[in-house]
Amino acid sequence: MSRGELFDPLFGATAVGAALSDRAWITALLDVEAALARAEAELGVIEPGHADVIDVTAKQLADRIDPAELGQAAVAGGNPVIPLVGQLRAACAAAGVPAAAVHKGATSQDISDTALMLLARRAGVLVITDLRAAADAAAALARTHRDTPMAARTLGQQALPTTFGALAATWCAGLDRAAGGLTAVLAELPVQFGGAAGTLAALHPNGLAVATELAAALGLADQGIPWHAERTRIGELAAVLGVAAGAIAKTATDIIALAATEIGEVAEDAPGGSSAMPHKRNAIAAITARAAARRVPGLVADALGSMDHELQRAAGAWHAEWETITDLLRLTGGAAHRSAQSLTGLHVYPAAMARNLAVTKGLLLAERVTGALSAHTDDAREIVTAAAIKENPELATDPAITAYLGPDRLHELLDPADYLGHAREIVDRVLTERGGVVGLESPTAPANPGPMEPSL
């Protein structure tokens, strides 16, 4: 899994990667410890002065602790919270805070689960921002190209005419839905606080109140009850990230296909080159978005497969989540960022779309011709099928068809711009549902096609 300076920029994960770094993990763990102290002081469980010291000391340690050293120290106990709490207690002791006041009533999983929720919230905001940016760019393309005819393609073949606006509206709808789903899940991510075995016995009768106060202090949802071994929250987070990655991958896959030399209907604003072939103009932002997104489903499966936590705390299934969820956020966030880059300023070539519509000499309108022909003969489908499978088919001049339909009628039937179904309404519906203004060009998506279209 990519982590660091070499691959994070390539796969769009520079910002989200920083929000999920080892340093970010340590900071989140200490943020939870500090918030716990404040919550317990608020309820009279520990002295307010002790909470102040813990809060200040935790912030200082967040910058000082060496992640490599903490990682080595974590080996014995199986998680980094144990040695981290040891360092926090030692640092606080110098200011007269007893060890019992630090991490009071908590267990390691309380701190690590809550820190993971904090990290998911912090990184998730970045993911949503890029998903929204990608959706906005797609909406602008849909608005600008609401009426631009192109060939719809099914199973790799030209099917019927559509508009590029309808395709871009489909991208927009998927990205918006993904952003909305992630937003909803992030809003419900809860604090975790259950103590040694989920009963909060060490803090009774204040344990549940401390949990509620801790959630408020961290800006997380209240847990209701401890969820040490009930991992639906983790499963929901993994699933919604998987859905988001799928929405991104669909858009990227379409852009890559449409940018192919033989199609040439779109191009990225800053395409990538080749170390060996000077002519190459690769849709590299879409390619790397797709690459990052393709690694997400396996991690989703890992997270869902680790939901079977036994009894009150799992041996291994809990530990398997830390890097899995972190990597899910990193990859989905990177894919979203690269998708936004790909869609923003994407160049669209209507002339290439028109050229490709004409390639089949009317075959992609065979459905329409068949419908018109059926008013004259019961053999309409057979006649059009026979005409379509000839070596050089051309519906406008096939004698079996012109025997029933005149040239003016065929010219009308074979006009792609006159057989777009509800394509324009699809664009309008998507833009209306997201609060856009239908029929106006977006300043972020120029109406002109940009650079000269590539010739085939």
Q: Which residue has the tokens 């490599």?
A: 68
- Sign, CA dihedral 90-92-98-99, equals negative
| Separation in Å, CA 114 to CA 58, 119, 196, 209, 218 | 16, 9, 15, 16, 9
CB 347 within 8 A of CB 268: yes
Rounded Cα gap, residues 391 and 229, in angstroms: 65
Q: 238, 357, 214: which is closest to 301 by C-alpha?
A: 238
Q: Is 274 a catalytic residue?
A: yes
Here the tokens at position 291 are 């690459």
Rounded Cα gap, residues 111 and 29, in angstroms: 6
Q: Which helix (H) or strand (E) holds 130?
A: helix 108-144
Question: Residue ranges of the alpha helices (H) in 219-364?
Answer: 232-258, 284-294, 296-305, 321-343, 350-358
- Sign, CA dihedral 104-106-112-115, equals negative
Question: Is residue 222 exposed (0-12), middle (13-18) or buried (19+ Cβ within 10 Å)?
Answer: middle
For 312, list phi and psi in degrees, rounded to 5: -95, -15
- Specify the amino acid at residue 454: P
- 240 CA to centre of own chain: 8
Q: Which residues pair with 153 in a beta bridge?
A: 158
Q: DSSP string of 327-388? A: HHHHHHHHHHHHHHHHHTT-EE-HHHHHHHHHTTTTGGGHHHHHHHHTTT-TTHHHHHHHHH
CB 237 within 8 A of CB 250: no
Of residues 122, 177, 294, 313, which has the active-site annotation?
313
Give the count of beta carbons closer than 10 Å to the beta carbon of residue 78.
13
Q: Is 121 a catalytic residue?
A: no
Here the tokens at position 218 are 């961290």
CB 198 within 8 A of CB 165: no
Return the active site residues.
274, 313
